[in-house]
Amino acid sequence: MKVLITGCAGYIGSITSQTCLDNGYEVIGLDAFYTGFKKNIPAAVKVYEGDIADTDILQKIHLEHPDLDTVIHMAGFIEVAESVKEPEKYIENNFTKAKLMLDELIKLKFKNIIFSSTAAVYGMPKELSAIPESSELKPINPYGESKLMFEEYLREKADEINHIIFRFFNVAGAYDNLGECHEPETHLIPLILDFALEQRKSFALFGTDYPSHDGTAVRDYIHVRDLAKAHVNALKEFSNSSANLNQAYNLGYGKGFSVKEIIENIEKVLALKLDYERKDRRPGDPAYLVASPEKAKVKLSFEPDFNNIEKIISDAYNHRKLFWENKLSCKS
Ligand SMILES: NC(=O)c1ccc[n+]([C@@H]2O[C@H](COP(=O)([O-])OP(=O)(O)OC[C@H]3O[C@@H](n4cnc5c(N)ncnc54)[C@H](O)[C@@H]3O)[C@@H](O)[C@H]2O)c1
């Protein structure tokens, strides 16, 4: 069983590659190393360096692996704030190039695609309640917009290629020495951990007047290893039946933690007290983004193994600590 993983050098792509290898898959990787790093890629992955829109590379992969018919498409740009400053960059990479790739893969007789979408497609939900997949899709930034545009293209092409869309909520944690390393880092848990490890001078909590139980914004944090496991389940779905294909599934635990609770949990796991700043809300940050994960549980047999915030934090911490102790950069 073979699978092509785009974005295999990134945080989630490298851990999904490792998880597929653990489950007996042969992994072919494609990455242009825009934001990901060669050293992340597990040694057993057969890597192709190039852009997802480079049809020559896609044809070369097909020639060398004619039996390959399934892709996990994780390559993309992910920074919301950057997408607001440079919307074209996001629409081009996350939609236009992905569309070119899909058209070529259809020509090459690929049968299945799993796409990494995001909770950002839901925009700013008004209710403080878990979000089902049937909720209104109304992104409020070009990042979410670019992901929704590709979701819609997949729905258009559903007669030509099967798809499973996964809308990731907040992905966190690590798998041994594979972990989160974005440059710049904008995600909450690695930012606080770096502050705790004295690798950042300051950390600011944005917004203490949200309509949540403690006034700070609430998110659903999913361990990256559970997210990767959901992809392995989905790969099996392609060979089992077609009943649960061509649909979107949330990937989260259905449990929210406020920013304040994340800080408190990190203080507990690390047994220290953090002295951080409190600032005003940032525009565009929803109060509450928590998945309703029932559909993936029922239809894709998604049963998480790491639904424990302390485990998420300690795995992320061990990765960051190792990283700083060895004076590493994301590249080396
Ligand atoms: N990290 C999260 O919390 C999160 C949440 C929701 C959705 N996602 C989605 O998951 C996917 C992976 O995110 P990540 O955190 O691992 O990001 P990442 O930046 O660590 O990895 C993305 C990888 O894609 C590669 N890439 C980007 N554009 C490419 C192109 N045109 N051709 C070839 N390679 C390209 C990059 O070089 C990088 O290795 C993204 O699609 C992202 O939108 C992530």
Domain ranges within the chain, ordered by starting residue: 2-172+223-252
- Ligand 1 contact, 52 CB (< 6 A): yes
What does the DSSP 8-state code read for residue 217?
Answer: -
171 in ligand 1 pocket by Cβ < 6 Å? yes
Q: Give the pLDDT score at 332.
A: 65
Q: Does 75 contact ligand 1 (Cβ within 6 A)?
A: yes
Q: What is the mean pLDDT of the chain?
A: 95
pTM higher than 0.75 for the full model? yes
Output the CA 187–ligand 1 centroid distance in Å: 13
- Non-local CB neighbours of 235 within 8 Å, separated by 6+ positions: 1, 3, 20, 25, 70, 72, 114
Which of the four pLDDT bands, split at 50, 70 and 90, describes residue 217?
A: very high
What 3-state class would DSSP assign to 15? helix
| Domain topology for 2-172+223-252 | Rossmann fold (3.40.50)
Mind listing the pLDDT tens digit for each residue in 187-197? 999 999 999 99
Ligand 1 centroid to Cα of residue 75, in Å, is 4
Q: What atom in ligand 1 is closest to the CA of residue 147?
A: 43
If 0-12 CB within 10 Å is exposed, 13-18 middle and 19+ buried, where does residue 162 land?
buried
Best mutation site among 4, 5, 8, 11 for ligand 1 pocket (most ligand atoms within 8 Å of CB) = 11
Q: How confident is the model at residue 127 (pLDDT cuts 50, 70, 90)?
A: confident
Radius of gyration of the chain (CA): 19
Residue nearest to atom 21 of ligand 1 (CA): 10
